[in-house]
């Protein structure tokens, strides 16, 4: 099969932002030691939370499933070191801003004893459908931040006419450098994962996409490609513009096709996976290690030594920052993720999860200008990569006009924060859009609930009416039967009487 060819596209809007990545990429990735305690949220992916399959007091091994998927979009959670389950309780997590979620707490024994792995064998001999199930067992999710279950995403792609895989190494948000370091240090594993994914998808074309200002990552990937000698995989460089690493924006850049509003890249023939996801697929399918650790960037003016670390899932931010050298005196607040799309957390007790690509500790800022009225300058529209009109959306968000928000494409907003950055009036547009989207989702959920209740009510009424009609029909049938039985009995009596009259001598 010949690999398809594509023209390079162009990103609408976007911003060239200062990277702030040099500090965290000066030294190799450091391994965080096994902590005293691991906190494993059962909800670390986009989908139904997993269900615990261990009890308090159970001894668990590294790589052992401790929570199993529940529902179509479920993904298992594995212990990331050996130890004893000491609690299953609600714990602060980064996914729920300021909130808690159920977690399995393991007291580590330090032995790091490994659960017997279940390698898929030589994946090239495994039927693609079986390989997808195996990927699911490894707890693999998209490590670019969306944590969409990888097996389900691949299944969707297999049912569409997908012809190419795009590996996303475009890490365009300031401060985050974990993918850059992963590409520098584990390029062969990333490309090995790409081959597994290509086999699972049955496609013959893969683009590994990197920003052109990442020369070391590009060199390592080129070296690995040279060793692989696999001409189905092509390295593509793109300019460093935020948010070119967004899934739809990357597709536009790489194959010059636009993902339709409300659609998916598979609608136009491709699927995007993060480079970290590809390495995780390799680690599980080839080496038998499920997704129990990840590289995360520890950075910002609030930490003494910015660096990238490989931490076990479930290690708390407190343990990680202490390992890297602690906080600075000016540390003010904590963000899990990047400065534009990350989530603020109020405690460093939150654990690193599969989605945690960055721990950003922000220093105190001396003043804030505060929000001013919109002056209709249009700068926000000029930078919006989705070609929305943020100033209009802002008005409609203030007015709570759900219909207009929909008409003006709020649901297509990728919450990249570009509009905030350029707004001279310092209006927190993205936060307003996030809230408005939440409200629309709530309304949609409410409507879906009301629709379901209405349908249940209608179905019940239909059933009662059907039963009433059936009862009436049965009654009528019984009456009819009784009537004809009565008529028959009378006829028989009359007949008997006629015969008796005939038999009697006159």
Q: Which residues of this chain interact with ligand SF4, rule CB under 6 A?
A: 374-380, 383-386, 388, 390-391, 394, 413-419, 422-425, 427, 429-430, 433
Closer CB to ligand SF4, residue 163 or residue 379?
379
Closest CA to 78 of 33, 139, 31: 139
Question: What letter would DSSP give residue 316?
Answer: B
Closer CB to ligand SF4, residue 50 or residue 410?
410
Closer CB to ligand SF4, residue 364 or residue 426?
426
Closer CB to ligand SF4, residue 164 or residue 413?
413
Whether the upstream peptide bond of residue 243 has omega within 30° of 0, thus cis, is: yes
Residue 444 CB contacts under 8 Å (≥ 6 apart), including other chains: none
Q: How far is the CB of 425 from ligand SF4 (least distance, A)?
A: 4
Give the containing element (helix H, strand E) for 5: none
Closer CB to ligand SF4, residue 113 or residue 415?
415
For residues 73 and 102, the answer to whether their CB atoms sit within 8 Å is: no
Per DSSP (E only), the strands in 27-125 are: 30-31, 37-41, 51-52, 59-60, 65-68, 77-78, 83-92, 100-108
For residues 81 and 89, the answer to whether their CB atoms sit within 8 Å is: no
Q: How far is the CB of 6 from ligand SF4 (least distance, A)?
A: 24
Closer CB to ligand SF4, residue 332 or residue 415?
415
Closer CB to ligand SF4, residue 6 or residue 433?
433
Q: From residue 198, how far is each of 132, 205, 228, 332 by CA, in Å? A: 12, 8, 15, 44
Q: How far is the CB of 246 from ligand SF4 (least distance, A)?
A: 8
Question: Residue 373 corresponds to which tokens in the numbers above?
Answer: 């009225």
Q: How far is the CB of 422 from ligand SF4 (least distance, A)?
A: 6
For residues 15 and 418, the answer to whether their CB atoms sit within 8 Å is: yes
Closest CA to 340 of 435, 428, 212: 428
Q: How far is the CB of 423 from ligand SF4 (least distance, A)?
A: 3
Q: How far is the CB of 253 from ligand SF4 (least distance, A)?
A: 16
Q: How far is the CB of 434 from ligand SF4 (least distance, A)?
A: 9
Q: How far is the CB of 222 from ligand SF4 (least distance, A)?
A: 33
User: Strand 270-274 relative to strand 164-169: parallel, antiparallel, unpaired?
Assistant: parallel
Closer CB to ligand SF4, residue 168 or residue 249?
249
SS3 130: helix
Place of tokens 């609690």: 87
Closer CB to ligand SF4, residue 15 or residue 234?
15
Question: Residue 42 corresponds to which tokens in the numbers above?
Answer: 């059962």
Q: How far is the CB of 58 from ligand SF4 (least distance, A)?
A: 45
The 3-state DSSP composition of the chain as helix, strand, coil percent (nearest 5) reads 40, 20, 40
Q: How far is the CB of 166 from ligand SF4 (least distance, A)?
A: 20
Closer CB to ligand SF4, residue 93 or residue 413?
413
Helix residue ranges, H only, 229-272 = 247-255
For residues 34 and 320, the answer to whether their CB atoms sit within 8 Å is: no
Q: How far is the CB of 370 from ligand SF4 (least distance, A)?
A: 14
The two counts, helices (H) then strands (E), for the chain are 13, 17
User: Strand 164-169 relative to strand 206-211: parallel, antiparallel, unpaired?
Assistant: parallel
Residues paired with 103 in a beta bridge: 41, 89
Place of tokens 């936060």: 431
Closer CB to ligand SF4, residue 136 or residue 418?
418
């Amino acid at each position: 099969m010949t690999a398809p060819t594509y023209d390079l596209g162009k990103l609408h809007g976007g911003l060239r932002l200062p990277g702030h990545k040099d500090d965290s990429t000066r030294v190799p990735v450091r391994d965080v030691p096994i902590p005293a305690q691991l906190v494993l949220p059962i909800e670390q992916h986009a989908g139904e939370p997993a269900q615990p399959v261990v009890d308090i007091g159970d001894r668990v091994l590294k790589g052992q499933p401790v929570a199993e998927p529940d529902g179509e979009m479920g993904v298992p959670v594995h212990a990331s070191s050996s130890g004893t389950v000491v609690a299953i309780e609600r714990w602060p997590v980064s996914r729920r801003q300021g909130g808690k979620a159920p977690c399995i707490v393991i007291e580590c024994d330090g032995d790091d004893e490994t659960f017997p792995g279940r390698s898929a064998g030589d994946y090239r001999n495994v039927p693609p459908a079986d390989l997808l199930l195996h990927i699911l067992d490894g707890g693999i999710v998209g490590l670019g931040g969306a944590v969409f279950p990888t097996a389900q995403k691949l299944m969707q792609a297999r049912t569409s006419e997908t012809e190419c895989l795009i590996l996303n190494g475009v890490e365009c948000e300031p401060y985050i450098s974990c993918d850059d370091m992963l590409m520098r240090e584990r390029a062969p594993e990333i490309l090995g994962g790409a081959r597994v994914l290509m086999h699972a998808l049955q496609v013959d074309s893969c683009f590994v996409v990197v920003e052109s200002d990442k020369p070391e990552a590009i060199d390592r990937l080129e070296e690995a490609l040279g060793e692989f000698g696999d001409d189905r995989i092509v390295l593509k460089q793109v300019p460093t513009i935020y948010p070119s690493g967004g899934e739809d924006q990357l597709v536009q850049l790489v194959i010059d096709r636009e993902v339709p509003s409300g659609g998916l890249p598979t609608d136009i023939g491709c699927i995007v996976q993060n480079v970290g996801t590809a390495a995780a697929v390799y680690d599980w399918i080839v080496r038998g290690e499920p997704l129990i650790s990840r590289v995360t960037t520890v950075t910002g003016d609030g930490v003494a030594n910015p660096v990238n670390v490989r931490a076990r899932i479930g290690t708390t931010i407190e343990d990680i920052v202490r390992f890297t050298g602690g906080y600075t005196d000016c540390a003010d607040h904590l963000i899990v993720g990047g400065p534009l799309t990350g989530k603020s957390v109020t405690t460093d007790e939150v654990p690193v999860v599969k989605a945690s690509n960055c721990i950003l500790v922000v220093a105190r800022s001396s003043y804030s200008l505060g929000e001013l009225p919109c002056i209709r300058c249009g700068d926000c529209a000029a930078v919006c990569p989705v070609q929305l009109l943020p100033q209009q959306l802002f008005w409609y968000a203030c007015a709570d006009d759900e219909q207009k928000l929909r008409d003006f494409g709020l649901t297509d907003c990728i919450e990249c924060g570009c509009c905030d950055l350029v707004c001279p009036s310092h209006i927190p547009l993205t936060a307003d859009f996030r809230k408005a989207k939440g409200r629309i989702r709530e309304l949609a959920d409410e409507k879906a609930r009301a629709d379901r209740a209405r349908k249940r009510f209608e179905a019940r009424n239909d059933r009662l009416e059907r039963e009433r009609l059936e009862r009436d029909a049965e009654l009528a049938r019984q009456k009819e039967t009784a009537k004809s039985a009565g008529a028959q009995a009378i006829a028989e009596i009359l007949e008997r009487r006629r015969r008796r009259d005939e038999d009697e001598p006159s």
